[in-house]
Chains A and B, each alone.
Chain A
Amino acid sequence: MALNLTINTSNPPLGALLAAEHVKSSVQVSVEEGKDTQLLVSDSVQFSDSNSICRYLARVAPAVGLYGANMMEQTEVDHWLEFSARRLCGQPGLNITLGELNKALSLRTFLVGHALTLADLSVWAALKGHNEWPIQGESFSHVNRWFSFLSSQVPFTSVGKKYTTKKA
């Protein structure tokens, strides 16, 4: 089964691209550049918002564990997906939001459970694409630690380089 992900190059969905990179080993996803972001599943089913694309990719490849290990982790992942879409993306005034994120990360390596999930991908992507982040981020040590930990790993380095330079 081959999936076709079209991305809007002027505003690339970093979270969806990261998810696509992570599930690459079990599902074939081809990425094309186009005008609108869209994941074509079949003739009648397509998803056009980043969270739905992430959810679908995580569900198609359950072995990767991007949607958490149990129901409670799934709920946490849902929480962070909404958090990144509603509180981080395009919202001015990051201070309060970053404070909450910092608190959540104070005792954690990953946002949910003990492994990488969609939560990490989507929040990382939202911060990466946010123009206030590099300046505001300095005072939030836990967020910084977590962000640079993820940024140094493989899919994050390649996706980050490839799509954020293009945007600038």
Chain B
Amino acid sequence: MPMYQVKPIYRREMEIDLPTCMYKLPNIHSQQGNSCTSEHALQNGEVDPAVKALEARQDEIMKKLYELKAAVEGLAKTVTTPDADLDLTVSSSLSPQSSSSTTFKGTTDLDTLLGKDLGALRDIVINANPAQPPLTLLVLHSLLCQRYRVLSTVHVHSSVASVPPQLLSCLGPRHADSYARHMFQLGFTLIWKDVPKLQMKFSVQNMCPIEGEANVARFLFKLLAPYPSDPALATLVDSWVDTAFFQLAECSAKERAAVLRALNSTLGRSPWLAGPEFSLADIASYCCVLQSGSASSAPANVQRWLKACENLGHFSPAKVLLQ
């Protein structure tokens, strides 16, 4: 709506001698003068249709690029799978359509595992030291997210001065502020805190705080898949987890080499550490091998197994932090 009109202070059709060596452009003054209404439309916060068209075109191009990227990633996964020297059980679990649901068999239901639902969100609170990021737990977290609706949050305790940005975003993007807690099945709250040993607090009325990444990993893994029912196999898994955390991660280079030899001979006999099935033993050992920096010097069977682990696609959260 025009309020009042002011006479133009210049003559609209001014004759100017233009040089011919430059591109010709329409006279912007005359255009503006002609369309008084479009000027007002711009003032009201509307966007020039030309800009709109440009934006739409950019969106289209970006969408095409994303599609292309996804296609290339899919192709790359099938190409780099070294299944030529793996046996059948492995390659079947490596095929593209396999997700965690085929890798971890058996239905698990939170109510049967953790007792009846008391109406409140089951919140797993983990205190971890930023000097030793718990890679295993991050991997298990992303697997939990595939299975359950998980509300993940990261906090920094006042005992820690500053935390690198990749640790703050290690559980994925933040949930929108408008989330409703009751929509989630499981809470996963990671607090970066100056603790000597990783701690988990869960169901504090009847459980003592659980110390040690190994024990927390066992707990989280049981939410994903039951341990093997055979006592020897289940104990073997636990024994490998202990070896990974206490010998690979903490001990001297000499002991690390001994563990790598043990890994190598075991992996010569079976595709995964605890027999034919991928298990917590593999997750823990993979993360500890990578964290100790001995991946490149590992013997042949271990190298092959590291590759096989990577092809499952579960370990990207851990790899992001190692870079």
Interface residues of chain A, those whose CB is within 8 Å of chain B, are: 41-42, 45, 47, 49, 51-52, 55-56, 59-60, 70-72, 74-76, 78-79, 82-83, 86, 104
Q: Give the residues from 235 to 262 in chain B that come closer than 8 angstroms, CB to CB, to chain A.
A: 235-236, 238-239, 242, 246
Q: For the complex, what is the distance from the CA of A67 to the CA of B231, rounded to whole Å?
A: 12
Distance (whole angstroms) from the CB of A136 to the closest CB of chain B: 20
The answer to whether A51 touches B242, judged by C-beta atoms less than 8 angstroms apart, is yes
Name which residue of chain A comes closest to B218, CB basis. A78
> What are 24 of the A-B contact pairs (CB < 8 Å)?
A52-B242, A55-B234, A55-B238, A56-B232, A56-B235, A70-B115, A71-B219, A71-B222, A72-B114, A72-B203, A72-B206, A74-B218, A75-B207, A75-B222, A78-B219, A79-B210, A79-B211, A79-B215, A82-B211, A82-B214, A83-B211, A86-B212, A86-B246, A104-B208
Q: For the complex, what is the distance from the CA of A83 to the CA of B212, rounded to whole Å?
A: 9
- CB-contact partner of A76 in B208, B232, B236, under 8 A: B208
List 17 other contacts, CB 8 Å, given A45-B232, A79-B210, A104-B208: A41-B232, A49-B242, A51-B238, A55-B238, A56-B231, A59-B234, A60-B231, A71-B219, A71-B222, A72-B203, A72-B207, A75-B210, A75-B218, A76-B207, A78-B210, A78-B214, A79-B215
Most buried by A among B113, B210, B211, B235: B235
The 4 A-B residue pairs whose C-beta atoms are closest, nearest first, are A59-B231, A56-B235, A78-B215, A75-B219
Interface residue SS majority, chain A: helix
Residues from chain A with a CB closer than 8 A to the CB of B238 are 51-52, 55, 78
Name which residue of chain B comes closest to A79, CB basis. B210
Q: For the complex, what is the distance from the CA of A100 to the CA of B109, rounded to whole Å?
A: 33
Distance (whole angstroms) from the CB of A149 to the closest CB of chain B: 19
Residues from chain A with a CB closer than 8 A to the CB of B219 are 71, 75, 78
Q: For the complex, what is the distance from the CA of A49 to the CA of B212, rounded to whole Å?
A: 18
Q: For the complex, what is the distance from the CA of A64 to the CA of B222, rounded to whole Å?
A: 21
- CB-contact partner of A52 in B202, B211, B239, under 8 A: B239
Residues from chain B with a CB closer than 8 A to the CB of A47 are 235, 239
The answer to whether A82 touches B208, judged by C-beta atoms less than 8 angstroms apart, is no
Q: Give the residues from 189 to 247 in chain B that come closer than 8 angstroms, CB to CB, to chain A.
A: 202-203, 206-208, 210-212, 214-215, 218-219, 222, 231-232, 234-236, 238-239, 242, 246
- CB-contact partner of B212 in A72, A74, A79, under 8 A: A79
Q: For the complex, what is the distance from the CA of A75 to the CA of B124, rounded to whole Å?
A: 13
Distance (whole angstroms) from the CB of B154 to the closest CB of chain A: 23
The answer to whether A82 touches B235, judged by C-beta atoms less than 8 angstroms apart, is no
Name which residue of chain B comes closest to A41, CB basis. B232
Q: For the complex, what is the distance from the CA of A71 to the CA of B221, rounded to whole Å?
A: 11
Q: For the complex, what is the distance from the CA of A55 to the CA of B113, rounded to whole Å?
A: 20
Q: For the complex, what is the distance from the CA of A78 to the CA of B212, rounded to whole Å?
A: 9
